Chain A
Amino acid sequence: MLIFFNGFSQDQRTYGLRLGFDISRIPLYLMDPAVYGLEFSADFEAAENLYPAIEFGFNKFSIERENYDYASQGNYFRLGADYNILKLDAKDQYEMAFIGIRYAYSSLTHSADNIHIPESYWGDYTGMVPKEPINAHWIEFTLGLRAEIFKNIFMGWSFRGRLMLYKNKENIIDICNIPGYGKGKNNSSIGFNYSVYYKIPMLRK
């Protein structure tokens, strides 16, 4: 009885849905208020060292220049899995060094306003570009670490290498920022996130 109430056995492992929130968005917003977004994630240990994952978020971006204003906003999701390459010393050890892959999709709109084109002969021109819908698909490779800080509470970071698969051909404006991806005119990008997680314990065996 004493053993039962003193704690869990090291021969058992807790499984459950792990929910995450990317806290790196907070300092990013403080450094650059033009970019505002949130990202959430969910993963679980489906098999030994294999963690299917889903991430989703939204992003708003706006810049004001002397001769135009630009704004975009949209949502994104990523589907994939991470594989833990760390050898566990005990069954109740949850630290991870992982590699992974994601398929990602983003849907956004962008527009430009207060466009001012100096024209010394006929007079300065002002105009705007109405909202254009944009879709983008890309593949993402992940590399990171994740560790249990307190019971069922994790922190972790990952680097992301992204390869664009498809995006709408821009009509008038270059896409400045694709939510979840980065600079729209680049065919590849690198990202970083830093998240906190909570694992909802569901099963112990």
Chain B
Amino acid sequence: MTNASKYFAILIAVFLICSTSSCTKEKNCDQSLISAAKISMFRGDTAMSFDKVSIVGWNNDSILLDTVNNVHSFSLPLSPFQDSCAFLLQIGPYVEILSFKYTHDLQFISEECGFASSFTITKFEPASTFIDSFDILDPVVNISETENIKIYL
């Protein structure tokens, strides 16, 4: 066997022993995949917190917040099955309806995590029972912690 042949035989053995990295090595997803509109409450420039805050989705029996105290901000999950949804926001005895219209897309997060929903708000409309005005800071609702809407009471 020539020296070259021996050299290649050794290299074959080394190659077979070495592992290669690939897309298929499964790692765990280490982040939340929840997409929800982040909303905070203000009066002028002052951040406001309220007691006895409850939130429930329109046509949904599940309660998102149930008479929680000291609430300054909250997250509203948008429905991926339609292009609009609404929520009832109750602060004490006062009830407000928050309506959203949006487009829905799939966002690929990573090989480990897969996909999450991404929404782009096209219209936000409070019923203006006690909300004076609002600012849409970022219309894109996804898994990031970016604040989406400021409401002014």
By a beta-carbon cutoff of 8 Å, the part of chain A in contact with chain B is 24, 27-28, 31-32, 34-35, 61, 63, 65-68, 95, 112, 115-123, 125, 127, 129, 145, 147-149, 155-157, 170, 172-174, 176-177, 183, 192, 194
**What is the CB-to-nearest-CB distance from B107 to chain A, in angstroms, rounded to a whole number?**
7
Taking a contact as CB atoms under 8 Å apart, the answer to whether A117 and B26 are in contact is no
Taking a contact as CB atoms under 8 Å apart, the answer to whether B5 and A149 are in contact is yes
By a beta-carbon cutoff of 8 Å, the part of chain B in contact with chain A is 2, 4-5, 7-8, 11-12, 15-16, 19-20, 22-24, 26, 33-34, 57, 60, 62, 64, 77, 79-81, 85, 105-108, 110-111, 114-117
Query: Given B7, B22, B60, which contacts A121 in the complex, CB threshold below 8 Å?
Result: B60
A-B residue pairs in contact (CB < 8 Å), sample of 21: A27-B15, A32-B24, A34-B22, A63-B111, A65-B111, A112-B108, A117-B117, A119-B77, A122-B57, A122-B60, A122-B81, A125-B81, A127-B115, A129-B106, A147-B5, A147-B7, A157-B8, A157-B11, A170-B108, A172-B108, A174-B108
Please judge, given known A-B contacts A27-B15, A34-B23, A172-B106, whether A119 and B114 are in contact too, CB under 8 Å.
no
Please judge, given known A-B contacts A63-B24, A127-B106, A172-B106, whether A149 and B11 are in contact too, CB under 8 Å.
no
**What is the CB-to-nearest-CB distance from B120 to chain A, in angstroms, rounded to a whole number?**
14
The 7 residue pairs across chains A and B that have the minimum distance between CB atoms: A147-B4, A34-B24, A122-B79, A67-B114, A68-B114, A125-B80, A121-B77
Known: A117-B33, A177-B23; 6 extra A-B contacts, CB below 8 A, are A31-B20, A63-B111, A115-B106, A117-B114, A147-B8, A149-B4
Chain A residue numbers with a CB within 8 Å of B33 are: 117-118
**What is the CB-to-nearest-CB distance from B59 to chain A, in angstroms, rounded to a whole number?**
10
Main secondary structure of the interface of B (DSSP, over half): mixed
Please judge, given known A-B contacts A68-B115, A119-B80, whether A27 and B16 are in contact too, CB under 8 Å.
yes
Q: Number of A-B pairs whose CB atoms are under 8 Å?
A: 99
Taking a contact as CB atoms under 8 Å apart, the answer to whether B23 and A117 are in contact is no
Query: Given B15, B110, B116, which contacts A192 in the complex, CB threshold below 8 Å?
Result: B15
Chain B residue numbers with a CB within 8 Å of A35 are: 22, 24
**What is the CB-to-nearest-CB distance from B76 to chain A, in angstroms, rounded to a whole number?**
9
Output the nearest chain A residue to B80 by Cβ-Cβ distance. Answer: A125
Please judge, given known A-B contacts A27-B16, A172-B105, whether A112 and B115 are in contact too, CB under 8 Å.
yes
A115 to B80, CA, bound (A): 13
Taking a contact as CB atoms under 8 Å apart, the answer to whether B12 and A194 are in contact is yes
**What is the CB-to-nearest-CB distance from B67 to chain A, in angstroms, rounded to a whole number?**
18
Taking a contact as CB atoms under 8 Å apart, the answer to whether B15 and A117 are in contact is no
A24 to B11, CA, bound (A): 11
